Structure formats: C-alpha cells, structure tokens
A and B are shown apart, each in its own frame.
Chain A
Amino acid sequence: MPMHDVGYRAWKGELTSIISRWWMIAQTGIAIAFRSQWIKRMLLAAWMPIVAIGSFFFVFENYLSDRNNKMDFLRRSAAEFGVDLDDPESRREYLEQIKNSPPLRRLDRATTGLGPGNSRPAQKKQIVVPMENTGSMKKQISQIIADRNKQIVDKIKEKCRELDVDVAKPKIKKLFDKLEKSGVPIAFNERILTRYLQRLDNAKTRERLERQLDNLSEQVEKISKLDPKDLPITDELPSVEDLIRRGQQLAPEDRFKFELQQMDLNDSLPPSFIVPYRQKIVEAWATPDNAKARVLGWSYFLMVFLGYPQGVATIILLALIVPPLISRDLRSRAYFIYFAKPIGRFEYLFGKFTIPLVFLVLITTLPALGLYIFAVALSPDLSVVLDTWYLPLKIVLASAVMIVPTVSVALMLSSLTQESRFATFAMFAIWSLTAGAYMVMWGFHTSNELTNEIREQERSESTVVVNMYDVEGNVVGQRTVNNQDIDLSNVRPLNSNWQMISFYHSSQHIQGWIFGLVPFDFSVVACGGMLLLTTIFSWFVLYWRVSAPIRV
C-alpha cells in the first residue's frame, strides 16, 4: 500500500452552486477539443481575415480624413457604379438614385453565359463644349476624339505585340483601322484603356478580351457607316480639356452640346445584379457626412467579415468540434456518468452547446469587436463612439444569428447517430445542399429572365441614337443604328424570400438586415422564421434523443 494512500475518508466540504454545473461540462469539452491540433490550426487560420478587413478599415478611415487623397482605386471602384467621387453633384445624384433602388443581389455574368464580370447598364455621356455654332468646330471635336482613340489604340497594339497577341487577326486589324480614322463618333476613355491593358496582362482574361475585340469590331463597323456632315477641317486643334474648361465659362445658351454613345462592352447589366451590399460601400464613399459614412462603411466591413470568411470558418470549425460531442457520449454510454449526478438534461445540452459556442465566439464575435476597437482607434477622436455605440451590439446579434441555429442543428445531427462521421457528412450535406439549391435556383431564374428579355428586345425595333446639337438645342446631326446594347434594367432577380431554403444565405440575409444593409421586408421575416423554427425543432429532437437512452 503506497504511503500516500490514506484509505477512504468522508468528505465534508462546500459544494459549488447547482446552476454552474453546466459550465463544468462545457469546460471539460473545451479542454478535450483544444487537444486537437487541427482545431488549433483552424482557430489560427480563422483569425487571418482580420488582417485584410483591418486594412479596409485603415483605407476607409484615411479616405474620410482626407477626401481629396490620391487613392485612385476607390475612385475606379466608385466609377463602376457611375459615381465620380470628386464631384459632389455626382455623389448627390447617386445617393438620390439608390434611395429607391431595390436590394442588390449578385449576378455573375459567367453564370448567365453573357460574359465575364459584373457590370452596369450602358450610359450616354454628354460632353458640353464651348464653340461657335459652326460646322468646323464639330469637325474639330470629331478629330480630337479620333486622335485620342488613335493614342489608345496604339497603346493597346503595343501591349498586344509585347504579349504576342495576334494584332493582325482580320477582325482586330479592321477594328483598329476603323478607330484610327477621323470622324468616327466613338470615344475610348482612359478607364477602358487601363482595363484592357490589365486584361491583356492576365493570361486567363486575354482570350476573352480577344473575343470582345471581335465584337467591338462589328459594332464599330456599324457605327462608322454613319455619315457625319461634311465639315471643314481647321488648322487648330485644341484639347478636349481646354474646350470643356472654356465651355464651363460660357453662358448656357452659348454652349454647344455634343452627345455620343460611350461604348463599354461590360456595361449591360442592371445595378440590381451587382455584388450584394457592395453599393453600400460606394454609398459610404459618396455620403458627405463623415459620421453617416462611417456607420455605413463600418457596417459593410463587419458584415463582409462575419458573412464571408467567418461564415465559412464557422462551418469548418463546427464540423471539427460538434459531431463527436453527443454521438461519442451515446456510443461510450457516458450519459450514465452525467445523469447519475445531479445534472438535468437541459444542463447537459446547454453544457454541450457552450463548447462550440465558445470557439465560435472566439473566431467571430471577438475579432469583430476587435476590429471595431481598431476602427475607433483609427478614427480622429473618440466622438465616433457616440455615432457607432450600437455596432458592438449588432456584432453580438449578428454572431448569434449565425451561431445559434448552426450549432443547434449540428448538435441535433450529432445526437442522431453514434458515428460522428455520419453527423459530419450530414452537416456538410445540409449546408452545401441548401446553399447549392438556392444558388442553382437563382441561376436558372436569372438566366431564364435574361434570355427572355434579350430575345424580346432583339425582336423589337430599338435603336441607338447618336446626336449632335447646336446651342439652341436643335439636333444638327443624327443617325440611328440597330441597338447593340440590350437594356436589361427591367430584369428582376429571384425573389429574396427564396433565400430561406438555404441556411447560409438565410443567416447572411438576417446579418445584412441587422447591419442595415438590407431593408426590412418579408424575406427577412421568412429567413428569420426559418432559422427560428429550425432551432426550436433541433432542441426538441435533442431533448428527445438525450432522454431516450436513460428512459428505457
């Protein structure tokens, strides 16, 4: 008998509170889970996105502190939405326009077979230039545009040669020839040039670009058949910028308006198909009041953080932690150890529920709150706390919307089998199949709607009008051609209510509503109701399954 063996001794001590016993179950579960190397690695990986989102906050706060800064990528991004960040009028117009716009949903053009990328509808751009009401000035404008086109074409050609793209391909060659001719009323701008050059740099998109150039070539072919008025050529060719500057100084009645169709092959889809919630960040950039802009911007970043990287990390971490929690207890009959002690079934379930809860709070709520504190630290003074005090509450609420239903369902699946592998498969199946079903449904709907709209418009006699006006507003030159840009602004995306069939999209939709990025409508009620009912059902099943083995 060892020296330290004192035999049996009665124990008289103070017992811990009966309310805290569930925490003992949770603590032990957390300790067991922490022994897994994979869970530790996953926790580390789940904290990585905080760096990216933190840098978004940094850029955003820099922009707010100096709106005239040189961050061109912000301007380019806003320009995709038709907003000129340097122009207060353009910003105001955009804010007015989105007041009545529907909630945005994503449409990848690749999904619909219409081509790559997301885009916006074609725009007509009006350049107001000062000039006498003479034909010679009209010719000057045409010449200037042709010169600019030539410069851009030269740059594209040079890049093509550098990259060994076949510029001698008949259609492309024809396109370049047409563009270089004077008097063609089509304008390339710097943004299009930059984009083409970027795409040429990318091997994946180069092939697509070549196809686009083919299409462009056909369009130019048609437009070039327009017959501009016979205009005398003058010797002096002022720059467009000079003309615009001078025009702005003139009285409106002295101005000459030159309207032309701005060609942009990506500009054909309505804004309602743009990346979800993305218009909110453009809205934040466009909002002149820093306090309002900050709430919008921070909400957007927090939503992106919780909805995308952390949403995926949540599912993966749950798949590692939850499946064995109850199924292994059922297999090893550990429930006898629990229920022989003064522990109730709800305490057992609550203890088990707390284990993944702690891990998920570690990868969602805590880093999101950290980001908020980081953002407050970046802002000019602490008064921002008064404007944004409710964001931490929204973070907690948005995390709960994601965590509670997903953990409840995962625990239910764990309680339905003694093999944790089956619970893992079932978990992935439920999440991916419901999300997949929604996405496929959405894709089919959108594709069908777009196809119908395009066919409808192709049958119609719609035209593009290229006008030239004099100071009186009279059209001095006009040509109509067959419509090359299909107007898809009337196509509606799939009803948001259908998101309720997907766990992932439902919780993301509710999170969007919590952060004020999605307006309150029936879809929010439907998604919230689905999550609530699923949670209640899961707890019923859990209680029944945990009671079953000890009842018999």
Chain B
Amino acid sequence: MKQPLIQLDSIVKNYKTICALNQISCNIYPGVTGLLGPNGAGKSTLIKVLLGLVKVSSGYGTILGYQLGKQGRKIRQLVGYMPEDDCYIPGLTGVEVVRFSATLAGLPKVEALRRSHEILDFCGMQQERYRNIETYSTGMRQKIKFACSIVHDPQLLILDEPTSGLDPEERESLLNRIRVLSRQFGKTVILSTHILPDVQSTCDHVVIISRGQLRISDSLENLSRPASPTITLSVVGDKQVLADALENIGLETTSGDRDELTIEGDLNVISDQIWQAAKTSGCGIRNMTPSINSLEEIFIQAIKESGHADA
C-alpha cells in the first residue's frame, strides 16, 4: 500500500455563517486524483487550504510531510498550482511570466530563463512566447499558467480546470502531459474539473465533494465496480424473448438502452446458463461483459445523496 502524500483529518473551514468545508477527512495517494464536485461544493476552498492560503477553522492535515496551516511556505515550494481564473501579469511576455514565476519559486535568474524556455517547449509554445501576454488567446494563457505551475519542478501539482478553453487537440495534449508527469516523473496530480471524461481517462483516484462535505474518496477502479456483480449483454434479435428465457431459469434481468440487457450474477458462474437461454430463445449474443459503473452515474449518485442528506 502506497503512503498517502496528503492526509486530511476533520478539516473544517467556516466563513462567518457559511460552512465551506465540513469535517473533510481523506487521504490522497501518488498518482492522478480527480477532485469533483458541483459549483460551490468547496473545491476551491479545499485547494486554498492545501496551499496554506487560508487558515482552517479546525482540523489537522499534512501535505508532503509538512503540517497544514503552519508550514504553508514550505508546502508552496513543493506544490505547483494552476488556478482556474484567467490570471496574468500585464506588461510581460509569455516567457517573462514563466521566468518570473520560476524566480518567485527560488530559481536563480539565468537558470529560471533557461528552464522557462524548456518548459514552454514541453508545453508546445512556439515563438508566441515572445509576445505580450495581454495579446494571448485563452488557450495560450492556459498553457502559460500550466508552464508556471510546473516550472519549478514541484512534487505535487494542483490543476484547477486545466482544459477549459482548449480545443479538442490541445485538450488531449494537455492530458497527455499530465499523464507523462504522473507516470514518468512520479508527480502527484490533483485535477479539479467538471469534465468527467477527462477524469475517467486520466485519474487513478477520485474525490467527490458536495456542499462542503466529502462524499466519495476512492480509487476509480473500486468505484467503477458495481456493488453486486452484473453482466451486460448486447443482444441480436428480440431481447424481450431472451429476457423471458433468462427469467424462466431464475435470473433477474433489466432492459437497458437499445439492445442491451443487464443480468444479476457473476460471469464465471452463470455464463453457461446465458448461452443456453440464448440458444432456446433463438437470439444471438454479440457481446457479454461484466458491468462497470460510469463516473457520471457515480457523480450524480453522490450529489443526489448529499441533497437527500441535507434535506
């Protein structure tokens, strides 16, 4: 079992009468973690707590071995943060912004410039790096923000909506870069986003927050596995006839989209019975796979539960 890089224990953050974070306790492990939640769920507050920019009302936590709230400066030295907001320093060119960011993190001036060019190459930024940043498109500014967050080679990357405003090709490139950083260079990445396919394709773990409370914190693999084993069939022919045949032999079925049919049971145990039922009902089976939960379902379910809980 890997050691968690971030440990949070009963973190509470109150803004006067509003409770932004309520008893958040979770561990975040190396790899890519998706931080999900509806608008106003408390994701940004949690990120600021992790960066040590806001003090928690109560609770305890450690990040990369440093105590939360007391060693914020040391934490920020090891963390790269890409904010969601469009932020830039007016009057500077792209490469100057990245260089400035590197010097703020403590890189010597000349090395900061060299490193900035290297990172901008990695981010796919060409000669436009010499243009004033105020003339950049949204996509270019996203790249600059990403470059600023990784220029000092941080151990932990916190990316807030990194793919917003990017065209599909750039979005795929950025996700690839995140994968490279995580898998080849061992960076721990927290990816806060609303784009669930991005999380599905990139993340190893998922943390879902709703109304300031932690709803889910688990690996994506565990979450995708249904509570009880089910099998999804893709039927050729009349799926209702097959469903009747399966129910006659004692298997519960649920009709899905188009030609899909879901059956309760373990594939290794009941596969023979399914083939037999298909034979008797005269239907073909194009595909037979164990069912998995989609992230969208998991997300919606978690939000619904929080709504019930609050109600």
Interface residues of A (CB under 8 A from B): 2, 4-16, 18, 21, 24-25, 28, 32, 35, 324, 328-329, 332-344, 550-552
Residue of A nearest to B73 (CB): A342
Given A11-B153, A32-B91, answer yes or no on A338-B121 (Cβ-Cβ < 8 Å): no
* 26 residue pairs bridging A and B, Cβ less than 8 Å apart: A4-B121, A9-B118, A10-B153, A11-B107, A11-B115, A11-B152, A11-B153, A15-B107, A16-B103, A18-B73, A21-B103, A24-B103, A333-B86, A333-B87, A334-B89, A335-B87, A336-B85, A337-B87, A339-B51, A340-B80, A340-B81, A340-B83, A341-B104, A342-B76, A342-B105, A550-B53
Is B100 interfacial (CB-CB < 8 Å)? yes
Residue of A nearest to B55 (CB): A551
Is B165 interfacial (CB-CB < 8 Å)? no
Which of B76, B101, B106, B111 sits near A337, CB closer than 8 Å? B101
Q: Is the CB of B185 within 8 A of A341?
A: no
Residue of B nearest to A17 (CB): B106
Q: Is the CB of A8 within 8 A of B180?
A: yes
Q: Which residues of A contact B87 (CB under 8 A)?
A: 332-337
Interface string of B175-188 (1 = CB under 8 A from A): 00100110011000
Q: Which residues of A contact B152 (CB under 8 A)?
A: 11, 341
Residue of A nearest to B152 (CB): A11
Q: How far is the CA of A338 from the CA of B86 in the complex (A)?
A: 14
Q: Is the CB of B91 within 8 A of A338?
A: no
In the assembled complex, the CB of B78 is this many whole angstroms from the nearest CB of chain A, namely 9
Q: Is the CB of B54 within 8 A of A551?
A: yes
Interface size, B (range): 35 or more
Most chain B CB within a 10 A radius of its CB, from A25, A35, A332, A333: A332
Residue of B nearest to A24 (CB): B103
Q: Is the CB of A341 within 8 A of B76?
A: yes
Q: Which residues of B contact A339 (CB under 8 A)?
A: 51, 53
Q: Which residues of A contact B177 (CB under 8 A)?
A: 8
Q: Is the CB of B89 within 8 A of A337?
A: yes
Q: Is the CB of B89 within 8 A of A342?
A: no
Q: Is the CB of B90 within 8 A of A13?
A: no
In the assembled complex, the CB of B204 is this many whole angstroms from the nearest CB of chain A, namely 19
Interface residues of B (CB under 8 A from A): 15, 48, 51, 53-54, 73-74, 76-77, 79-81, 83, 85-92, 96-97, 100-101, 103-108, 111, 115, 118-119, 121-122, 148-150, 152-153, 177, 180-181, 184-185
Q: Is the CB of B107 within 8 A of A334?
A: no
Given A8-B122, A8-B180, answer yes or no on A25-B111 (Cβ-Cβ < 8 Å): no
Q: Nearest 3 CB-CB pairs, A to B?
A: A15-B106, A333-B87, A11-B153
Which of A8, A15, A340 sits near B185, CB closer than 8 Å? A8
In the assembled complex, the CB of A423 is this many whole angstroms from the nearest CB of chain B, namely 15
In the assembled complex, the CB of A12 is this many whole angstroms from the nearest CB of chain B, namely 8
Residue of B nearest to A329 (CB): B89
In the assembled complex, the CB of A120 is this many whole angstroms from the nearest CB of chain B, namely 55
Most chain A CB within a 10 A radius of its CB, from B73, B108, B111: B73
Q: Which residues of B contact A18 (CB under 8 A)?
A: 73, 106
Which of B77, B100, B150, B153 sits near A24, CB closer than 8 Å? B100
Residue of B nearest to A28 (CB): B100
Which of A328, A329, A341, A550 sits near B48, CB closer than 8 Å? A550
Q: Is the CB of A16 within 8 A of B101?
A: no
In the assembled complex, the CB of B226 is this many whole angstroms from the nearest CB of chain A, namely 38
Q: Is the CB of A337 within 8 A of B148?
A: yes
Q: How far is the CA of A215 from the CA of B179 in the complex (A)?
A: 96
Q: Is the CB of B83 within 8 A of A16?
A: no
Residue of A nearest to B104 (CB): A341
Q: How far is the CA of A339 from the CA of B51 in the complex (A)?
A: 9
Extra A-B contacts (12), CB below 8 Å, given A334-B87, A339-B51? A11-B115, A18-B73, A24-B104, A28-B100, A35-B91, A329-B89, A332-B89, A333-B86, A335-B87, A339-B53, A340-B148, A344-B73
Residue of A nearest to B144 (CB): A337
Which of A2, A35, A342 sits near B121, CB closer than 8 Å? A2
Q: Is the CB of B107 within 8 A of A16?
A: yes
Given A24-B104, A35-B91, answer yes or no on A333-B85 (Cβ-Cβ < 8 Å): yes
Which of A6, A15, A335, A552 sits near B118, CB closer than 8 Å? A6
Given A550-B48, A551-B54, answer yes or no on A340-B111 (Cβ-Cβ < 8 Å): no
Q: Which residues of A contact B96 (CB under 8 A)?
A: 28
Residue of A nearest to B122 (CB): A8
Residue of B nearest to A12 (CB): B153
Q: How far is the CA of A334 from the CA of B121 in the complex (A)?
A: 23
Given A24-B104, A333-B86, A336-B85, answer yes or no on A32-B92 (Cβ-Cβ < 8 Å): yes
Q: How far is the CA of A8 from the CA of B182 in the complex (A)?
A: 12
Q: Which residues of A contact B153 (CB under 8 A)?
A: 10-12
In the assembled complex, the CB of A3 is this many whole angstroms from the nearest CB of chain B, namely 10
Q: Which residues of B contact A338 (CB under 8 A)?
A: 104
Which of B83, B91, B185 sits near A336, CB closer than 8 Å? B83
Given A8-B122, A16-B108, A342-B74, answer yes or no on A337-B97 (Cβ-Cβ < 8 Å): yes
Q: How far is the CA of A7 from the CA of B111 in the complex (A)?
A: 17
Q: Is the CB of B77 within 8 A of A340?
A: no
In the assembled complex, the CB of B93 is this many whole angstroms from the nearest CB of chain A, namely 11
Q: Is the CB of B51 within 8 A of A332?
A: no
Residue of B nearest to A36 (CB): B91
Q: How far is the CA of A521 from the CA of B238 in the complex (A)?
A: 105
In the assembled complex, the CB of B155 is this many whole angstroms from the nearest CB of chain A, namely 10
Q: Which residues of A contact B121 (CB under 8 A)?
A: 2, 4-7
In the assembled complex, the CB of A335 is this many whole angstroms from the nearest CB of chain B, namely 8
Q: How far is the CA of A340 from the CA of B79 in the complex (A)?
A: 8
Q: Which residues of A contact B119 (CB under 8 A)?
A: 8
Q: Which residues of B contact A342 (CB under 8 A)?
A: 73-74, 76-77, 104-106
Q: How far is the CA of A11 from the CA of B100 in the complex (A)?
A: 16
In the assembled complex, the CB of A324 is this many whole angstroms from the nearest CB of chain B, namely 8
Q: How far is the CA of A21 from the CA of B150 in the complex (A)?
A: 18
In the assembled complex, the CB of B87 is this many whole angstroms from the nearest CB of chain A, namely 4
Q: How far is the CA of A6 from the CA of B88 in the complex (A)?
A: 26
Q: How far is the CA of A342 from the CA of B102 in the complex (A)?
A: 11
Q: How far is the CA of A333 from the CA of B83 in the complex (A)?
A: 10
In the assembled complex, the CB of A354 is this many whole angstroms from the nearest CB of chain B, namely 15
Q: Which residues of B contact A335 (CB under 8 A)?
A: 87
Which of A6, A13, A28, A552 sits near B111, CB closer than 8 Å? A13
In the assembled complex, the CB of A122 is this many whole angstroms from the nearest CB of chain B, namely 62
Residue of A nearest to B96 (CB): A28
Q: How far is the CA of A172 from the CA of B66 in the complex (A)?
A: 94
Q: How far is the CA of A336 from the CA of B160 in the complex (A)?
A: 12
Q: Which residues of A contact B15 (CB under 8 A)?
A: 552
Residue of A nearest to B106 (CB): A15
Residue of A nearest to B83 (CB): A336
Q: Is the CB of B181 within 8 A of A25?
A: no
Q: Is the CB of B81 within 8 A of A332?
A: no
Q: How far is the CA of A410 from the CA of B150 in the complex (A)?
A: 35
Q: Which residues of A contact B53 (CB under 8 A)?
A: 339, 550
Q: Which residues of B contact A2 (CB under 8 A)?
A: 121
Q: Is the CB of A550 within 8 A of B76?
A: no
Q: Which residues of B contact A344 (CB under 8 A)?
A: 73
Q: How far is the CA of A4 from the CA of B121 in the complex (A)?
A: 8
Q: Is the CB of B106 within 8 A of A340?
A: no
